[in-house]
């Protein structure tokens, strides 16, 4: 088990909505996952422009390995609905040069295949998104994508190709 599953609510007065959350087998599968190691951990705070910790707003972008793929959790800490996007290279469990099938664990729907980035549109204020990303093969070669998914900007932009070669953008 990644973590103990604790429920601290009076079960006799549990609403149907809360009962449905507690019975979500796809989310329970994350909790009961057999992959040994860290659980779902922050990979970006997101609220601050420099993406660092903020005591008033908890981390918004979380990820972790599972036996079924990579779990991504997004938490909107704002008082308004917001689009929440991330680049696959930000999570240590997603690989550059791969595309990923996206499953929404709250709605139990498949959200297609994404390349390099994913945007959860209109995440409600103080709401969350729970996703499972599974490898869907190499990026399409004819998609007109830049040679790198993310450039580093330390004076001059650069990135590292899949073969380890340093690339300067055109």
* Segment 2-48, tens digit of pLDDT: 566 777 888 889 899 888 888 899 988 887 777 767 778 888 876 66
Within the chain, which residue ranges are assigned CATH 2.60.40.1180? 40-139
Residue 144: strand, helix, or coil: coil
Q: Mean pLDDT, the chain, as a whole number?
A: 83
CB 54 within 8 A of CB 42: no
Mean pLDDT score, 108-137: 95
Q: What is the mean pLDDT of residues 56-78?
A: 89
The pLDDT, as a whole number, for residue 102 is: 98
Model confidence pLDDT, tens digit, residues 141-151 = 776 666 665 65
What's domain 40-139's superfamily in CATH?
Golgi alpha-mannosidase II (2.60.40.1180)
Quick one: how far is CA 92 from the chain centroid? 11
Residue 1 clears pLDDT 50, i.e. is over it: no
Instruction: Choose among 100, 88, 102, 92: nearest CA to 149.
Output: 88
Give burial (CB, 10 Å; 0-12/13-18/19+) of 128. Answer: middle
Supply the pTM of this predicted model: 0.80
> Within the chain, where are the H helices?
16-22, 25-31
Phi, psi of 26 (to 5 degrees): -70, -35
Contact between 83 and 122 under an 8 Å Cβ cutoff? The reply is yes
Distance separating alpha carbons of residues 73 and 164, to the nearest angstrom: 30
């Amino acid at each position: 088990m990644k973590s103990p599953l604790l429920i601290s609510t009076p079960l006799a007065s549990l609403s149907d909505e809360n009962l449905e959350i507690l019975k979500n087998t796809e989310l329970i599968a994350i909790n009961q996952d057999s992959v040994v190691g860290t659980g779902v951990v922050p990979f970006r705070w997101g609220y601050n422009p420099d993406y660092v910790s903020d005591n008033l707003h908890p981390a918004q972008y979380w990820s972790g390995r599972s036996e079924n793929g990579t779990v991504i959790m997004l938490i909107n800490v704002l008082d308004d609905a917001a689009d929440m996007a991330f680049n696959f290279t930000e999570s240590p469990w997603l690989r550059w040069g791969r595309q990923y099938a996206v499953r929404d664990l709250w709605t139990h729907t498949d959200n297609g295949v994404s390349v390099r980035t994913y945007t959860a549109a209109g995440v409600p204020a103080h709401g969350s998104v729970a996703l499972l990303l599974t490898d869907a093969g190499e990026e399409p070669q004819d998609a007109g994508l830049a040679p790198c998914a993310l450039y580093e900007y330390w004076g001059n932009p650069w990135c590292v190709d899949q073969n380890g070669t340093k690339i300067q953008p055109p």
